[in-house]
Amino acid sequence: MSASEHERAKDLLLQRRVEALPRENEHWLREHLAQCDACAASDAQMSEALGAFRGLHIEMPRNLASRAQLRVRLRAEELREHGPANRLIWAVALLSWIFGIASAPLVWRGFAWLGGEFGLPKFVWVAGVALWWIVPALVATGVVLLEQGRRASASE
């Protein structure tokens, strides 16, 4: 017999332990085991080993399930905090900065024009330009902090 036949027999023996073999493979394996003492011995050893494993009594820690559930919950919370939602917030922040920088000259001229039309001191309309960018950032920060607080209270 060739080495490839023994390899095929070993593969089929392993496969048979997991799932049913197709009829032609099962027939070939039975014939091979009837002719080959080495493969038949390997099959017998595998059967003995599996039987020994099935007979073992393995004691698990009492709180293993609750610890596993806790770890799964903690990992889910970690993924939630650092998941796609956070990426979306960063993408929106990046776009906000890009549009803010691109529109800065227009906003500056617009506030300067309004300050000139209403006779406002330069300090007032410059403060208006600063607030134009600060207030939305503060509102966005507040929304993010409120959402994190809500998540923290929901997880407790």
3-state secondary structure 112-138: HHHHHHHCCCHHHHHHHHHHHHHHHHH
Rounded average pLDDT over 105-116: 92
Tokens (6 digits) for 98: 């890009």
Residue where the block lists tokens 């039309």: 117
Per-residue pLDDT at 82: 67
* 48: phi then psi, degrees, rounded to nearest 5: -65, -45
**Of all residues in the chain, what percent carry a pLDDT higher than 90?**
33
**Of all residues in the chain, what percent carry a pLDDT higher than 70?**
94
Rounded average pLDDT over 99-110: 90
Per-residue pLDDT at 105: 92
Per-residue pLDDT at 150: 81
pLDDT at 154 exceeding the cut of 70? yes
Query: What's the angle, vertex CA 41, arms to CA 35 and CA 46, rounded to 5?
Result: 130
Rounded average pLDDT over 144-155: 77
pTM given for the model:
0.39
Per-residue pLDDT at 156: 66
Instruction: Between 144 and 142, name the one with better pLDDT.
Output: 142
CB 12 within 8 A of CB 23: no
